[in-house]
Structure 1
Amino acid sequence: MVNLLKGICGVIDRSNEVVGRGVSWITLLLVAVVFVDVVMRYLFKTSFVFTQELEWHLFAFIFLIGAGYTLLHDGHVRVDIIYQRLGVKGRAWINLIGVIVFLIPGCYLVISTSWKFVGNSFSMLEGSPDPGGIPYRFIVKGTMTVGYVLLLLQGISMGMHALLQILGVETVDEENA
């Protein structure tokens, strides 16, 4: 059973690692798009709706699809006043309870409510209502559901790692290896 849990965690962790590394390249693209937009605005006194929309589409993609990767690397904001003073098992308990009480229900809520919203957007191939805007708005809306599924999976992995730590089967070094 322990090996099964470790195997599932490994698959989820590796998947989010690959996704996160891919998202990092989108971040580079976002920097380039913002640079071009700023140059166009300040040097040439012009701006394009497409470029401005592309900025927020890329940002949304990075934020949503990269959330699982951020959780994998413990990059989400948390109040560390108590957490940092606890030992491995104390931190594992907080992680396990946090996953069960907050992360899983929160992800479920977003996934279940966004499903129809995203489906409607895809069914009509929704685009920008602005002239010159991005015609494929439905794609960025789809990242909402996908991103929260990746975050949910990483939360499940985090909860399983925490359970294994509580049981004394896994150490913090094993999890980060």
Structure 2
Amino acid sequence: MRRAAAAIDAVTEAVGALAALAVLALVVVMSANVLLRYGFSTGSVWAQELEWHLLVPISLLGMVWALKRGEHVRVDVLYAAYGPRLKAWSDLLAALLGLVVLAAMAWLSLAYVGQSWRIGEGSANPGGIPWRWALKAVIPVGCGLMALQYLAETLRAAARLKD
């Protein structure tokens, strides 16, 4: 169980690296947009839309990395007082519930993404990014990766309970 969890963790670290690169790209794009707008009184819709096109993978991929690192939202004031066994049960229950919620979110997003892909949805703004369908496709991918990390958390908690 621990080896499977470690393999999933390796995938999550790679996903976290991609999210970090997207953060760097977002900083560069936002800086350039501000410089162009206020320094040269110019700009482009495409570059402005790129900001939120980068924010989506940062959020959806970054949440996977945050879960792996234990940086996700948890009521630490209660959790810190738990003993090792109660922590393992709490982690197991949270991971199982997370798996259910994420499976539902991924499943429900497929029709939304599929429709966007079928119509080749792009920006409604002239000069905007024409690949809005690709941005929406990150939703089930992010949910799937998060579910995979919750599976690793489930395996890890189950292994702790076995010990």
Query: Structures share a fold, TM > 0.5?
Result: yes
Partner of 2:79: 83
1:129 aligns with 2:124: yes
Partner of 2:29: 33
| Runs of 5+ unmatched residues, structure 2 | none
Contact 1:110 1:148 in 2 (8 A): yes
Note the alpha carbon deviations across 1:57-86, whole angstroms, 9 max, x for none. Answer: 101011112221111111112211210112
Distance 2:6 2:65 in 1: 13
Percentage identity across paired residues of the two chains: 34
Find the partner of 1:97 among 89, 93, 96.
93
Distance 2:34 2:104 in 1: 38
Which has the larger displacement, 148-157 or 15-24? Answer: 15-24
Contact 1:67 1:150 in 2 (8 A): no
| Runs of 5+ unmatched residues, structure 1 | 169-177
Partner of 1:175: none
Quote the RMSD (CA, aligned, Å): 1.2
Partner of 1:47: 43
Partner of 1:11: 7
Which has the larger displacement, 140-149 or 114-123? Answer: 114-123
Partner of 1:108: 103
Partner of 1:155: 150
Q: SS where residue 125 of structure 1 aligns?
A: coil
Distance 2:61 2:87 in 1: 26
